[in-house]
Amino acid sequence: MFDAASDLTPLALLAQAEKTIVGLEPVIGELASEFQRRGLSLYLVGGSVRDAVLGRLGNDLDFTTPARPEVVKEILDSWAEVVWDTGIDFGTVSAHKYGQQIEITTFRSDTYDGASRNPEVMYGDTLEGDLIRRDFRANAMAVELTMVNGEMLASFHDPVGGLDDIVHRRLDTPAAPEISFHDDPLRMLRAARFVSQLGFGVAERVKKAMTEMSEEISRITAERIQVELDKLMLGAAPWTGINLLVNTGIAERIFPEIPAMQLTQDEHRQHKDVYAHSMQVLRQAMDREDDGPDLVLRWSALLHDCGKPATREFKPEGGVSFHHHEVVGAKLIRRRLRALKYPKQIINEVSQLIYLHMRFHGFSEGQWTDSAVRRYVNDAGELLPRLHKLVRADSTTRNRKKAARLQRTYDHLEERIADLSAREDLARVRPDLDGNEIMKILGLSPGPEVGRAWSFLKELRLECGPLERDEAIAQLHTWWEAEQLQGHKPEEDS
């Protein structure tokens, strides 16, 4: 049974939540029984209840309880498969069982110092006190779990009207948003993340507070900002979360390259600006994802034209150009992602895709030489599948004939890549002679000359394709003789 404790609860949503929770009775029922045997209450809480109501509950379950952390750990140690301290100083213990990750936090009634987002942890005595301190009303619901004669009963608690917010697909704070965001400015980023993940809007008072308090985001570390931005970008509609950050001025403080694109009219002088174009490219790139959300592809799609504001030039005859915006954009994003403490691999991949996204437009159908194809594949490397998706997504023209021509031209390029790959190993283009062979043929010791010779042979391989060994050796000797004539001397033997 599901005991609805709120007059505001729509029966359809309660039925959906009940069905979701009952489906997890094997793990939830056992856990509730363990707490009940000790006379302790256990509540499914927060995002887990919200997701149960929405019918999207995953494998991460959040609980709260009046039990102190040491008691929770003792219970979990005797029941779960694996137990670890997520943040026992903050009252949280985690465990794993039956494929579910479980996090249990003791009732809290924290206070904040107003300077950082780190609370002074204070344990609470009531469920309601714990719920009203949470970030949003939709996350401030709980379901009490009890076992009666082998049957799990669930009682719904909604002291601040969170279910009504879910019905209206709205994010609002339990207390005044100014208080909530002053306590923890990260909640402003979480609002944008939930907009992206859940398809909710924000209450007007929340948006107003985010706008007026945008500078408070400076209290949040780069690492925490990065985590929230990635969760936002991996949501179902990341452009909605980005729009919220841009419209409230928060994006200007944490990722100014994004709102800067609003200032740039695109090269077609249509009604949309580069920002709107980038949002469309993001949507179209997501349509091409094969195996779930692709963070690198999404960031690259959103940011591919971020170099345009710095490279905009108005032509005397009308129109506007953005020469080398891909080069400038790649440098801008490399610096920004470093500042946000992104992993080196993410930085390299996103910036390289931005750098390469215009390469295709330098050629028309029938103009791709074998050398150009090799260089395109070589420069993209493992990013080639993502580059294909990004370039195709970058076509947002309303001119159907032009759009069809661009897609047809890229089809031709992919056919050329497939044809050349059938004859050559395009995925691993390397010189026809390795470093040891170069040293033996030219009588060199390890040093920069070997590296220059290797680079020459690599360029030769890209330009001409695979060579017979004798021809490669002859080309190497010719190059080396020219090097010596130009004054490049081999290192003296030590």
- Do 379 and 282 have their domain in common? yes
Residue 201 lies in a domain: yes
Domain that holds residue 242: 169-254
The single-letter code of the amino acid at 195 is V
- Same domain membership, residue 143 and residue 47: yes
Kindly state the tokens that stand for 406. 């661009």
Arithmetic mean of pLDDT over the chain: 87
Distance of alpha carbon 298 from alpha carbon 281, whole angstroms: 9
The answer to whether 253 and 215 have CB atoms below 8 angstroms apart is: yes
- pLDDT value of position 120: 67
**86-90, 171-175, 232-236, 389-393: least confidently modelled range:** 86-90
Are both 230 and 304 inside the same structural domain? no
pLDDT at 74: 95
Q: Are residues 368 and 317 in the same domain?
A: yes
Same domain, yes or no: 148 and 179: no
Per the domain annotation, does 377 fall within a domain?
Answer: yes
Q: What is the pLDDT of residue 449?
A: 86
Q: Strand runs (DSSP E) across 293-411, as ranges? A: 313-314, 320-321
Tell me the per-residue pLDDT of 349-397, one tens digit each, with 9 for 90 and over: 999 999 999 998 877 666 788 888 888 988 898 999 999 999 999 988 8
Number of folded domains in the chain?
4
Residue 260 placed within a domain = no
Is this model's pTM higher than 0.75 or not?
yes
Identify whether the C-beta of residue 273 lies closer than 8 Å to the C-beta of residue 312. no
81 and 189 housed in the same domain: no
User: Which of the listed residues 150, 168, 186 is the one where a domain comes to its end?
Assistant: 168
Q: Is residue 261 part of a domain?
A: no
End of a domain among 126, 144, 168? 168
Q: Are 107 and 124 in contact (CB under 8 A)?
A: yes
Question: Would you give the distance in Å from CA 173 to the centre of its chain?
Answer: 25
- Which pLDDT value is given to residue 124? 86
405-457: per-residue pLDDT in tens? 888 888 888 888 888 888 777 666 777 777 788 788 888 888 888 788 778 77
Q: Residue 168 in 3-state DSSP?
A: coil
- Residue 490 covered by a domain: no
From 56-65, 106-115, 175-184, 294-303, the region with the lowest mean pLDDT: 106-115
Q: In this structure, which amino acid lies at residue 414? A: E
Res. 212 pLDDT band, cuts 50 70 90 = very high
Q: How far is CA 12 from CA 17, 23, 56, in A?
A: 9, 17, 15
In the predicted model, is pLDDT for residue 256 greater than 60? yes
pLDDT tens digit sequence for 118-155: 666 688 889 999 999 999 999 999 999 998 888 888 89
| Residue 243's CATH number | 1.10.110.30
**Cα torsion angle, 246, 247, 248, 252, sign:** positive
**Nearest Cα to Cα of residue 91 among 108, 76, 74:** 108
259 occurs within a structural domain: no
